[in-house]
Structure 1
Amino acid sequence: MSKYQEGLKIIEERCGNNKDNVISLATIATEPSSDGNPIPIVRDVDAYYEDCVFYVVTYAKSNKMREIAQNKEVAFSVNFQWFSGNGIGENLGWVLDPKNAEIRTKLRTVFAEWYDDANNEKDENCCILAIRLTRGTVIKDHGAVRYNMDFVNKIETNEGKTI
């Protein structure tokens, strides 16, 4: 098994298997700071992981979705799982769009305890955000083992960068 495959196995064990993950999701604000620099914004969201993608049910007019529409590059960290990295955010559209039926069913199952309390599916702005992973780092044994993952090329790298 390659180091990339080992890293994927760890990610699946920690984040997969129909788990409700809390991830910190970072975007860049739509307006720069007063001195013209980009402003990073981070928030925690519930996410479902499958095949190198995190899925989040959110609101299309939220700040995070506005920020992703302007700059699709995001960063993430899975809370307490020693896994962080970068991805591309994509608005998959309204949760009730027929093209989202399969993933919506999975999301409703994984988030069953709170889904209906937090989401109004009748509102067409209730949407699914897909975070397609591009790079990430998985840490094992308190840093003794690191997997630097390139999800685009499907390889483990030695560079130790997540950007």
Structure 2
Amino acid sequence: MSKYENAMKLMEERCGNSSKDNLIALATIALSANAAGNPRPSVRMVDAYYEDGMFYVSTDAKKSKMLEIEKNNEVAIGGLDWFVANGTAENLGWAKDEKNSEIRAKMKKIFEWFDDHGDEDSPSSIVLRITLTNGTIIDNDQKYGEWKYEVDFVNKTAK
């Protein structure tokens, strides 16, 4: 197996590849600048599921993270399972939209809280997709021989 394939195997094992929820930190660029007028980060914890290099989040389109993503869709994430990554975020629209039926079905299965707190009847209840571009995965156990993987998700390579 290539280093990239090993890195993807680790992500699938740790994040469940659409079979479990993951608590991740999601960082965006805040709408308000700091005192010096420079952009500042804004971070929050979100529940997401992982599938094929992407994380999916159920959220409300009116939340600050979505307003920030509208202005700048570049995000950073960090996971408790020893990974960090950059990516792009995209609002896929209303959770109950026909085009989101497969994702919605997975969310209902994976997120135990979804039926009680997903508020999917509201048109502002949306699916957020985070497509990973690059990142670092640490494997302290060196399960596949490497301690650290620098991953390029776009070109499907790892160093």
> Which category describes the TM-score, using the shorter chain as reference length?
over 0.9
Gaps of at least 5 residues in structure 1 are 158-163
Partner of 2:147: 145
Name the CA distance, whole Å, in 2 between partners of 1:151 and 1:53.
10
| TM norm structure 1 | 0.91
> How far did 1:49 drift?
0.3
Q: How many residues align?
A: 155
| TM norm structure 2 | 0.94
Name the CA distance, whole Å, in 2 between partners of 1:35 and 1:91.
31
Question: Once the two structures are superposed, what CA deviation does each residue of 1:72-119 show, in whole Å capped at 9, x if it has no partner?
Answer: 00000112x0011111000000001000001110011000x2112222
Partner of 1:88: 88
The one-letter code of the counterpart of 2:35 is S
Gaps of at least 5 residues in structure 2 are none
1:69-84 aligned at under 5 Å gives the runs 69-79=70-80, 81-84=81-84
The one-letter code of the counterpart of 2:155 is N
Name the CA distance, whole Å, in 2 between partners of 1:31 and 1:75.
18
> How far did 1:142 drift?
6.5
Question: Once the two structures are superposed, what CA deviation does each residue of 1:15-72 show, in whole Å capped at 9, x if it has no partner?
Answer: 0241110000000001211211111011000000000000000000100000011000
Partner of 2:65: 64
Q: Secondary structure at the match of 1:101?
A: helix
Name the CA distance, whole Å, in 2 between partners of 1:117 and 1:44.
19
Identity %: 53
Name the CA distance, whole Å, in 2 between partners of 1:9 and 1:43.
27
Name the CA distance, whole Å, in 1 between partners of 2:78 and 2:20.
15
Partner of 1:35: 36
Q: Secondary structure at the match of 2:50?
A: strand
Q: Secondary structure at the match of 1:141?
A: coil
